[in-house]
Amino acid sequence: MKKLKLISETDSGEFVSVLIPARNEEDNIKDCLASVLKQKYPDFEVIILNDNSTDSTLDILSSFESGKIKIINGKPLPPGWVGKNFACHQLQAEAKGDYLLFLDADTIMEQGCIASAVKFADTENTGLLSLMPYEISVSFWEKAVIPMLYFALMVFLPVPLIERSKRKEIAVGNGQFMLFSRKCYETIGGHESLKNRIVEDVWLAKRVKEFREKLIFADGTEFVRCRMYNSLSDVWNGFSKNFFAGLSFSKSGLAVIIVMYFMLFIFPLVTLCFGIINSDQVLIEYSLIGFFIPVIIRITHSLKFHQPFLFSFLNFLSSGFIIAVAINSFRILKFGKGANWKGRNYEENVIK
């Protein structure tokens, strides 16, 4: 995985539109916007869409005074659209930039982030540069579950092929930070081309490859940080919303993931217990090997991405949680009322 390098200033001359959709983000938007305004980049604008928030998001936005900021109020959500996609679609319509930076409202950037990202994108001639941020984990379950994102990404996805392969199936993006060239964004049809996709970042990345534009997914942990979820219920609901949809509603894909997580992380403990009960030394030894190999791999990834490595020894708990989330994601989208997120409900027949 390529790593973003610090460039304090740039003379690229590219105008950047920073586009931030915000729905009920009163806890995050102030820090996010402050970090954007501190950027050491000469030519950028900030457009924020208040997506029909029911909290104090708009009041907080109104307290900022800067010629770079433009605040717009979102239109009511039309049928067939996912909320974030429609918000981003409205934002791009207002943007003037050569580059369009879609940024989640719960992200915080270091000062040289935009300059470094634009320089990287210019040098690599990317259509889309998406960064993997440093994911902040505070609570027990955040620390146990969130780092599994890095583990799954590095172990199950051939990251070097994201850039090299032309196959759109080998594509990933992170909606927390997506820097498009305007040409690429317009070529792929923007968010309107996948208006009902709830896991829009992955599908945008697939579209980039489909249209033979260059995609790079890079390590941005030293430039962008984000706390995805603030509570156990947020972790549960957020992952439940995305899991089954992220697998394109594939039952076989879901089954493979569940079996794989069980066999890799839980089964070695089951066999270890049997080995201890039956005093089977060979089974004990093989079970310990099976237990520690994923632990060691996760420790290396945790150190690389600055995550708490001691939670690597709790892989069985993390995996149990993920398996439960996977089953719940299938349940709510197939048999329940759909995924609920920020006061909006999405049923499978709407978001397919």
Task: Find the domain containing 127 and state its range.
Answer: 16-133+174-230
2 alpha carbon, distance to own chain's centre: 17
Are the CB atoms for 39 and 99 separated by under 8 Å? no
Residue 235 lies in a domain: no
Answer yes or no: do 36 and 185 share one domain: yes
Answer yes or no: do 198 and 296 share one domain: no
CATH number at residue 114: 3.90.550.10
Which residues are CB-neighbours of 154 under 8 A, at least 6 positions away? 1, 301
**pLDDT tens, residue by residue, 41-68:** 989 999 999 999 999 999 999 988 777 8
Answer yes or no: do 62 and 203 share one domain: yes
**pLDDT tens, residue by residue, 219-276:** 999 999 999 988 889 899 999 988 998 888 899 999 999 999 999 999 999 999 999 9
Entry pTM:
0.92
Residue 237 lies in a domain: no
Residue 82 lies in a domain: yes
- Positive or negative, the CA dihedral 79, 82, 87, 89 is negative
The domain tally of the chain equals: 2
